[in-house]
Amino acid sequence: MKLDFSVVANAWPNLISGTIGTINLAIAGMCIALVIGILGVAILRAQMRMPNLLVNAFIEIIRNTPFLVQIYFIFFALPLIGVRLNPTATAIIALGLNGGAYAIEIIRGGVESISKGQTEAGLALGLHKHEVFFYIVLKPALRTIYPSLCSQFILLTLTTAICTSISAFELTYVGQRIEGETFRSFEVYFTLTMIYLVISFLTMGLLNAIGRWAFNYPQR
């Protein structure tokens, strides 16, 4: 057994651009996921029959099929409806749809956790409707769901690795190219694993710090 990490180390510029690609995919995917999440909750709260059914069907389908199958399906389906996108854009859409289904569930839970009495208390204190929504409904709801949203974001970041299957530009794709050139499979994937570990730890630390700063007020 002879390990040779030098070929991997020599490819560091590629690894860095791959890491940036991974972070880009994760952030873009999460932004779409949040938009879908908020829209989905708005639709569910409107209590209309057909749209409600569609949103719930969307959630169930996404949550009960593997991301790999979803990304293949979207990759082949988009050209058929006349949308020609590069693999990276396709991957962002797939990540956004996947994350969106989970985001709907999380945001719904947060909004439902705010009791009606709280809104009424705000109004009774003479706050404006918008003030009530922002300071009394949205802010505590966000604080409640923030940890779940953070772990969902980490999960999404790790899911980006699967986007290599449609050759979207991210870390695993870069790794597979290095592997193809050097045949140092174990060294490449071990290094990638460590990079992913660093990415998720740094992201978690950053998100926790943001959470402490943003929600730094007494609970009761």
Partner 1 sequence: MGTQELSYLLLGLSWTLGLTAIGFAGGIPFGIGIALMRVSSNNWLRRPAMAWIGLFQGTPLLMQLFVAYFGLPLLGFNLPAWAAVAIALTAHASSFLGEIWRGAIQAIPKGQTEAALALGLPDSSRMFDVVLPQAFKISLPATVGFLVQLLKGTSLAAIVGFIELTRAGNIVSNQLYRPLLVFGVVGAMYFAMCWPLSWWGRKLEQSMSKGINK
Site for partner 1 in 150-169 (CB under 8 A): 154, 158-162, 164-165
Q: Does 172 bind partner 1 (CB under 8 A)?
A: yes
**Between 122 and 175, whose beta carbon lies closer to partner 1?**
175
Binding string, residues 99-138; x marks residues near partner 1 by CB under 8 A: ----------------------------------------
Q: Which amino acid, 154?
A: I
Q: What b/e readout covers 54-76, taking b as 16+ CB neighbours within 10 angstroms?
A: ebeebbeebeeeebeebbeebbe
**Between 103 and 132, whose beta carbon lies closer to partner 1?**
103
Among candidates 91, 93, 92, which has minimal Cα distance to 167?
91
Distance CA 128, CA 24 (A): 38
Q: Does 3 bind partner 1 (CB under 8 A)?
A: yes
Q: Does 88 bind partner 1 (CB under 8 A)?
A: no
Q: Does 77 bind partner 1 (CB under 8 A)?
A: yes
Among candidates 33, 40, 97, which has minimal Cα distance to 71?
97
First to last CA, the chain: 60
DSSP alpha helix (H) spans, the chain: 6-10, 12-46, 49-63, 67-80, 87-112, 116-124, 129-131, 139-159, 171-182, 185-214
> Cβ of residue 169: shortest distance to partner 1, in angstroms?
16
Are 18 and 171 a contacting pair, CB within 8 Å? Answer: yes
Q: Which amino acid, 174?
A: V
Q: Does 189 bind partner 1 (CB under 8 A)?
A: yes
The binder of partner 1 chosen from 4, 60, 131, 181 (CB under 8 A): 60
* φ and ψ at residue 167, rounded to 5 degrees: 50, 45
> Cβ of residue 124: shortest distance to partner 1, in angstroms?
28
Q: Does 200 bind partner 1 (CB under 8 A)?
A: yes
> Cβ of residue 105: shortest distance to partner 1, in angstroms?
11
> Cβ of residue 62: shortest distance to partner 1, in angstroms?
10
Q: Does 98 bind partner 1 (CB under 8 A)?
A: no
Q: How many chain residues interact with partner 1 (CB under 8 A)?
A: 37
Write out the residues near partner 1 by the rule CB under 8 A: 1, 3, 60-61, 63-70, 72-73, 76-77, 80, 154, 158-162, 164-165, 172, 185-186, 189-190, 192-193, 196-197, 200-201, 204
